[in-house]
Structures are given as structure tokens and as C-alpha cells.
Structure 1
């Protein structure tokens, strides 16, 4: 997945795609042709696997896919009208647009893989996921320490209750070491 897909590569891919697949919504083919006819627009087109969290995106599906036929998403608003997407793109040519195509064998299609780019918002998701994972790990470690501390308290109490001096001294040493680790 490179980040420097050329305009000609995108144009060739769109032509190849339209030659090999029939779209569920005919107007979507017109929209793809429109995009491929304008180099300035093609510079702003990015094919991605997942359009989640992106400000402006299209979902386009072929007849061999179970996905919705067409979705235009802009600023969290979803529209299934191709004409709305067309006019938005036409009158906002400087905005990036991310396209998720859904078709049979998309995961193994070398032509599609050649034009795929990364979703810039997924990087933020990865950072967020790592932070959440780290936070969860810290909480889990603290819970384990709290449990071990309570168990040690109980053992010290039991040693005092039974008068087991040797066990008390050994457990007290463990308690001291645990306190040092906390500091």
C-alpha cells in the first residue's frame, strides 16, 4: 500500500475496474468516469480498504457484492444519492475524497492492491488502541498488586494469630520489599 499512487495509475485502474465489474448503481459508474476524466480530481482521489472516520468518502459496490450499492459520506452525513456526491465533488474539487470499492475477490485483486492507500485516520486509531491497551495493562498490573498485597496482609495476620514467628518475619520481609517496589 503505497502513498504515492500516480494519476495515470488511478485512471488505468478505474478503466480496468469498470471493464471488469458491473456496479449495483449505474450512476456510480458515471461518477467514476467523471473522476477519471479530470487529473486535478484524480490527485484528490484515494482508494482505501476502510472509509471509517474519513471526512469525505464514497462506498461503491458491484453486483457481486453484498455491500450497500452506493454511499456518499461527508462530515458524518450519509447519502445514497450519486447526484449529491457528484455535485459535491464538482463544486469542491480541492477536497480529498476516499473511495472504498466492494467487489468479489477484492482482497486478492492485484490491480486494486496497486492503488490502495492507507486510511489516514486508522493511524490515529492505532495510537489510540495502543494507549488503551497500555492503560488496560497498567490497570491489570495494579489489580494484581492489590490482590497480592491483600493476600500478604492475610498471611501476616494468620502468622500473628498462630504465633508463627518465623513465618511472620519472612512475610514481613516480603511486605518490606513490596513497599520498596511501590516507591
Structure 2
């Protein structure tokens, strides 16, 4: 019974959004109409106000919104073609879909969106996705910094070799081995254990 009430509220919210606003990308209404026709998918759809860190996310903007007109990310891959998106939602249905209907905020408080409170489990998942995304960003930055330093050291080694500076060359090669080769071997041993 409670699920039926939530489905009704979600459908009411989508219909209110579609009737009240003109969309920046008109064909995006096909995706919303598809959601309205699939109760199973709509049951696992959650309305949020930010999709930055979420793997299965959709942004559909009203013409008065300052956000991008349309964005679809499914399993962390971006899609633009509406028919392809509908196909994926129908045949490779994500466990959860987070939808941000972007519009002027005053409207939000005048509609049924107030009834669509985020369930605590979903709030925890959103937080979890955000933490993972921050950690992934930090790891990526560390890898990029390491690769940059590795390239810089190789350039310094080449320069020392070109200049015939044997002392500097030996120092840099020893340091390079210590920083990059020894750590790779240690990582390889840890993976094999």
C-alpha cells in the first residue's frame, strides 16, 4: 500500500513538472513519460537535488533552470541519445535511478515534492557514493602526481646523461629505482600474497 502511495506521488510530481515547465531539451520528456509507464523502474527512482556522485543519474532541466539541459549517466557511463537511454532503462534497468528535475525552487515547495522525502537508506547510499567519488578523485590525483614526478625524474636522468654528469646520473637513477621500481615490486608481491 505504501509503495502504491509513493508511486502515485512520484507520478504526480513528474506530471506537475511536465505541465508547469517547458524543458530545455524537449525530447527529454520522452524519458519522463517512459518513467511514468514503468512502475517497477519508478519505484526505484529517487528525486534528488544533486547527482554529482551518483552512478545512475538523470538531470532534466526546465528552461528557467541554471543547470545543464540534460544529462544521463547509467553505470557511470554518459549517454545522450534518448532512444538509447530508454532502451537501457528498459532492458538493463539500474537498481536505483536518481533524478534531478531542475527548476525554479519556489515551485518545489508548492507541489507534492514535499511528500517525497528521501528514505534514510537512500540518503546513506547517496553519502556513500559521494565518499567513494571523493576517494576516487584523490586516488586519481595521486596517480597523476606520481606519473608527473616519474616523467620529470626521467627527464632529469636524460639531461644528466646528455651532460655527462655521472655523479648526478647515478644519484637520480638510484633515487628513481628507490621511488618507482622498488615500490612497484612491493606492490606486485602484495598482490601475489
Q: 1:32 is matched with which residue?
A: 32
- Can you give the 5+ residue segments of structure 1 that lack an aligned partner in the other structure? 130-183
Q: 2:113 is matched with which residue?
A: 112
Q: 2:157 is matched with which residue?
A: none
Report the Cα offset of residue 121 of structure 1. 3.6
**Cα distance change, pair 12–43 in 1 and its aligned pair in 2 (3 A):** same
Q: Is the 8 A contact 1:46 1:98 kept in 2?
A: yes
- Can you give the 5+ residue segments of structure 2 that lack an aligned partner in the other structure? 135-193
1:96 aligns with 2:99: no
CA distance in 2, matches of 1:116, 1:109: 15
Q: 1:158 is matched with which residue?
A: none
* 4+ aligned runs moved over 4 Å, structure 1: none
Q: CA RMSD in A?
A: 3.0
CA distance in 2, matches of 1:87, 1:50: 24
Q: 2:166 is matched with which residue?
A: none
SS in structure 2 opposite 1:72?
strand
Q: Could you say which structure has the greater relative contact order, defined with CA pairs below 8 angstroms and 6 or more residues apart?
A: 1
**Cα distance change, pair 96–5 in 1 and its aligned pair in 2 (3 A):** farther
TM-score (ref. length: structure 2):
0.56
CA distance in 2, matches of 1:49, 1:5: 22
Alignment length, in residue pairs?
A: 127
Q: Is the 8 A contact 1:23 1:60 kept in 2?
A: yes
- Choose 1 or 2 for highest CA Rg: 1
